[in-house]
Structure formats: structure tokens, C-alpha cells
Amino acid sequence: MDTKIGSLDAPKPNSNDVVSCNHTSSAAIQPCLPATVINGAGCSDSTLGGHLARRLVEIGVTDVFSVPGDFNLTLLDHLIAEPALNLVGCCNELNAGYAADGYARARGVGACVVTFTVGGLSVLNAIAGAYSENLPLICIVGGPNSNDYGTSRILHHTIGLPDFSQELRCFQTITCFQAVVNNLEDAHELIDTAISTALKESKPVYISISCNLPGIPHPTFSRDPVRFSLSPRLSNKMGLEAAVEAAAEFLNKAVKPVLVGGPKLRVATASDAFVELADACGYALAVMPSAKGQVPEHHPHFIGTYWGAVSTAFCAEIVESADAYLFAGPIFNDYSSVGYSLLLKKEKAIIVQPDRVVIANGPAFGCVLMKDFLKALAKRLKHNNTAYENYHRIFVPDGHPLKAAPREPLRVNVLFQHIQNMLSGETAVIAETGDSWFNCQKLKLPKACGYEFQMQYGSIGWSVGATLGYAQAVPEKRVIACIGDGSFQVTAQDVSTMLRCGQKTIIFLINNGGYTIEVEIHDGPYNVIKNWNYTGLIDAIHNGEGKCWTAKVSFLTLSSNFIALSKHGGVSKLEYLVLIHACFSFQVFCEEELVEAIATATGPKKDSLCFIEVIVHKDDTSKELLEWGSRVSAANSRPPNPQ
């Protein structure tokens, strides 16, 4: 098993001030199931708050996303006091949770801190999304004073009842462990159990800490934190051998078998083992849409995304015509199955889940870890590249969008052709729920290029907070976020936090006037939204503080402005360029302006947060969304079964 949790020598931020968000580097933490013993480091802080802060640093968390409230203020003081921990204040609890989600995707674990009930219930949606995506996330809530438990007192921030358990009951369904710390005697055990459970289960946990406890010394915190061990999960040896034997027999007699990677490769930490299997067997290699980024797309036998009728060209034909397919970590829901329309047969499939293997209509093997199974199977399979050779025979290279006429309104396919050219191993893509799913899915990721989106939960607005968290976790990468106008309106506020943190993200705001993905499932007037002055909004968020430059103009208008200023003796060209600060905002109507905007964002403003608003027609959608929307609509509108 991989025993790496994270660097215990994580770099310390330049400051522990709540608004200081910059890091010189990041502590590497593998998104894996840890199986090591964590050793505590000496610290003079003998309080509960100090212990929690040290534990977070030990597991690789150097940034905590928070919203203050009177029940968590003392706890926040102790988190700030930890030199290796950085507190990032967010505009609301939902975004703090989304940021912790994005951070966990890059670092392997994330954390957020909110206040009791009004904060806890606000962050619920983000925690539920992290649960659906199997992300270890530590959700910490500042709770009521310990003396108020068991009394008939009615507290503020509650629904007016003396029962304080409403928040806890809500979290019980979307976290794998809940700890209510309202005394110091078992606080150490509860906190350590919660954190270790999050890492072992790769799910969120809930920790409530009474507001009067963080600063009180206690003997359990008076020395180095007691070592706690995360026991490694092991495969049943006999079950593993039997599963590998059965799978090898099944696949070796197939004529044109294929491999398909699924989203649970992440939680099983089996991506490398999956690639090792692909290298050994020579099968054609595809991924499910929600696994994009989990498998290297530069692999010589990679054929694209398998998504039924909206798959990468020629991919579905190869997968669905195979006489055997191995799916590693799949999730077959109505979205990934395109309204339950996949042309797959159970008798042809081997389904490998994180700890279970099912072979066709035959046996199932439990207590078999995916990583162990894939590694062992790689040694037993005969090399067979028939399916890939078939793909290579029928493959026709991608076409290119028609050449746009001068000043022609920008088309979405032209936009993403230019985004494709921006990608490298030093970038990462965040795709918002909506048509960005389908357009970003067609991007070809270079080696080491990150990619994240939230498909299982599909919460619109997720990407703003997730972009904040992901960029904070890996400051060495430049994040490119593709966000629709409808989604952006849900969570726009935390662009403010990105600016405070000095992030260099490029946001493409795709303005097409509404909830396009909903339009293609079922249209109605409720899918049309009020248009905003998005570039003006970024200017308002900047508000003259820090380094930010915005303009609701085309690049040609910008040039005209310079000429006008120069004629009046207002500024020199050098002085004018100095006015272009760390945030670059742009509104794009045509390809020429897009080219200019990208050139600026990746050139003079490469160290800046760049906001590029792209204006497109409301009906300009990917062909994949049109097909997918029709099929999902058909699945949603099935009549009731006869009673």
C-alpha cells in the first residue's frame, strides 16, 4: 500500500494572517488511502484548538477555508496561531465548502470551518457533493457553549428549540463520521477518530467543537500528539488469486477486449495500476466522462471518452462492439449512461470496484482491492491490441471549425479550439456543470495537465469555489475555469477571495443568457436569467483595492482609449501599461478579440487573475449536449409503471 499521507515538513506561509493566502510552494499529498503512522511534532500549545490545527497540518492541509461566526471565533484564533496553517476567509459557507472540495482534489484532503447551524446548514450542499465524489473533507463547526447542552435553553442561530441536534442529524446522511466535542475528556479521541476516518473512507466528516473549549489547556494535549495509526487495508489473498485467475481466463479468450477507467480510480488510488495493466495488455483504453484526468491521455492506446451516444468519435463503437470489457471503478448513473442508453452487456463485463470484483454473470469476489487486482492481472494477460488496431483503422482525425469571417460573432467550438492550445502540464482545467462538461470533455489533456469537474452531484456554481480551492492547493499550476453565466451567478462572490489570495486563474465566463443544459433537457422561461455586466462586476469586486484592471471593452476599444489618452497628454504607453494590474477582465464578441485576450492573459498578464467574458448565441451548444439532453429528457419523462 502507498504509505504517503503528506509532507510533515509542509512549507510555512509567509504570514498566518487571515487574509494572507500566498504560498511559495505546496505540500504534496497523494489522493490515496493512507496507511502510515502519523507522528506529532512538539508544540507548546496544549489546547484543543492547537491540537486540531497540528493534526490538520500533519495530514497535509495548509489552507483552511472559513466563514466567521460567533461560535467559531475562538477556534479560528487557534488555527491562525499555527504557523504552518493558513486561514482563507470566504464570502459564504457554500463557497468555503466548494473550495475545500477543490483543495481536496489537488491535495488529497481539505478542510473548512463554519459556525453552528446557520453556517452548518449553509455548507451542507458542498459537503454532500464531496461525499458523492469520495473526497476526504474535514468540516469543522463551532458549536454552542458546552454548558448549554442538556438544558432547556433556546440559543440564537437555531430554529428556536432547545434541541441542538438538528445540524448533527442533517450531517449524519452526508458524512461518514460525526464528532460532537462538548467536553475535553474525549476531545482528543473524537478529533483523531474523525480525521482518520475521513482519510480511510475517503469521505467527509463532521466535527462540532463547543465555542468555550478551544483555548482551554488539558493534559491530553500537554505533550506531542499521541501517534495514531491508519491501518492498511489488505486484499484477501485467496480471494485476490481467485479473482485474477477468473478474470485472466475470461479476458485471454476474448478476441477484442477493451479497458475503461471510471471515477472510482481516484478513491482506490489505482490510476497507476490501471495504466500498468494497459501497458501490459495492449488493449484499447478509454475513460468514463467523470474519470477524465484520472488516466493519462497521452497513453499510446488511449481512444477517448466512453459516454454512450455522446462519446469521443469512434470510441463508443470500439467499446460497445468489444467481446469483453473491463471497467475499473465505474459509476453507471442516468447521466453517465446518457439516460440508461449504453449498449453494454453484463455477460461481457468485468466490473472492478475499489474492494470488489464481479466477472460477467459469474462469480463476485469481495475483499479484493482494485490496486492489487489490477497489478496482479497485468502479469497474467496475453498481449492483445486487436481493439486498438480496429480503432486505428476507422479513426478519422478531428475536423476544425470553419474559418470565421472577420468580426463574425464567436462560436463555442472556436473558443474551445483556442482553449485547447492553452493547455500544458503547467495548467489545470475546471469545468462547470453545463455545456462546459461536454466541451471540456473533448479537450485533449497534455501530460500532467489537471482536470476536474463534478458529474455525480452536478451542482451548478460548484466551479467558482472549487477553482479557488484547487488554485490555492497547487499554486504552481495555472487554473483555467470554464463557467457558464447561470452557474456563475450562484457563487460569483468568491472571485473576491481569489483576488485576495493573489491567484492567477483564467476564468472564461461563457455568456449565453441562461441555463443551457436545462434548456436541452426541458425548456421553459425559468431557464432564462437576468444578464449581468460581468466585467463590471469584477471591477466592483476589485473596488480599487489591490492590483486589478477591468474593462468592458474589446481590445480594439482599449487601443482607442490609449490613443485618446495619449492625444490629451494623459499618460505615456509605459504609464498606461502600468495601469494594467493583476486582474485582467475582458469582454469578447469575436475570434479576433478572443485571440487578443488570450495573448494578454498568457503573456503580459500571466501572473494575474484574468476574467474573459465570452459572448455567444443562446443556442450555440455542443452537439453532444443536444444528444445527451434529449436522452436524459426521455429518461426523466418515462410514464409511471402500471400499478
Q: How much is the pLDDT for 23?
A: 45
pTM of the model: 0.88
Catalytic residue flag (residue 156)? yes
Q: How many whole angstroms separate alpha carbon 368 and alpha carbon 268?
A: 11
Helix and strand numbers, DSSP H then E, in the chain: 22, 21
Catalytic residue flag (residue 160)? no
179 vs 3: which has the higher pLDDT: 179
Candidates 518, 523, 592, 620; catalytic one: 518
- On the CB side of 482, how many CA atoms lie within 13 Å of its CA? 26
Residue 400 phi, psi (nearest 5) = -120, 150
Smallest Cα–Cα separation from 55: which of 32, 89, 78, 28?
78
486 belongs to an annotated ligand binding site: no
- pLDDT by residue (tens digit) across 222-246? 656 655 667 888 999 999 999 999 9
Catalytic residue flag (residue 334)? no
Catalytic residue flag (residue 458)? yes
Domains and CATH numbers, the chain: 48-210 (3.40.50.970), 237-394 (3.40.50.1220), 412-547+578-629 (3.40.50.970)
34 vs 125: which has the higher pLDDT: 125
580 has a pLDDT exceeding 50: no
Predicted confidence band of residue 546 (pLDDT cuts 50, 70, 90): low
263 has a pLDDT exceeding 80: yes
Q: How much is the pLDDT for 470?
A: 98
Chain centre to alpha carbon of residue 476: 17
**Average pLDDT value for residue range 570-592:** 58
Candidates 93, 148, 192, 452; catalytic one: 93
Supply the DSSP string of 74-139, one letter for each residue: HHHHHHHHSTT-EEEE-SSHHHHHHHHHHHHHHHS-EEEEEETTTTHHHHHHHHHHHHHTT--EEE
92 belongs to an annotated ligand binding site: no
Catalytic residue flag (residue 218)? no
Predicted confidence band of residue 36 (pLDDT cuts 50, 70, 90): very low
Q: How many whole angstroms separate alpha carbon 289 and alpha carbon 307?
A: 6
Catalytic residue flag (residue 70)? yes
Q: How much is the pLDDT for 229?
A: 67
485 belongs to an annotated ligand binding site: yes
**Average pLDDT value for residue range 319-332:** 97
Q: Which of 33-42, 133-142, 246-255, 617-626 has the lowest mean pLDDT?
A: 33-42
Catalytic residue flag (residue 408)? no
- pLDDT by residue (tens digit) across 169-222? 999 999 999 999 999 999 999 999 999 999 999 999 999 999 999 999 988 886
62 has a pLDDT exceeding 50: yes
Catalytic residue flag (residue 272)? no
Predicted confidence band of residue 582 (pLDDT cuts 50, 70, 90): low
Q: Which of 44-48, 337-341, 406-410 has the lowest mean pLDDT?
A: 44-48
Catalytic residue flag (residue 607)? no
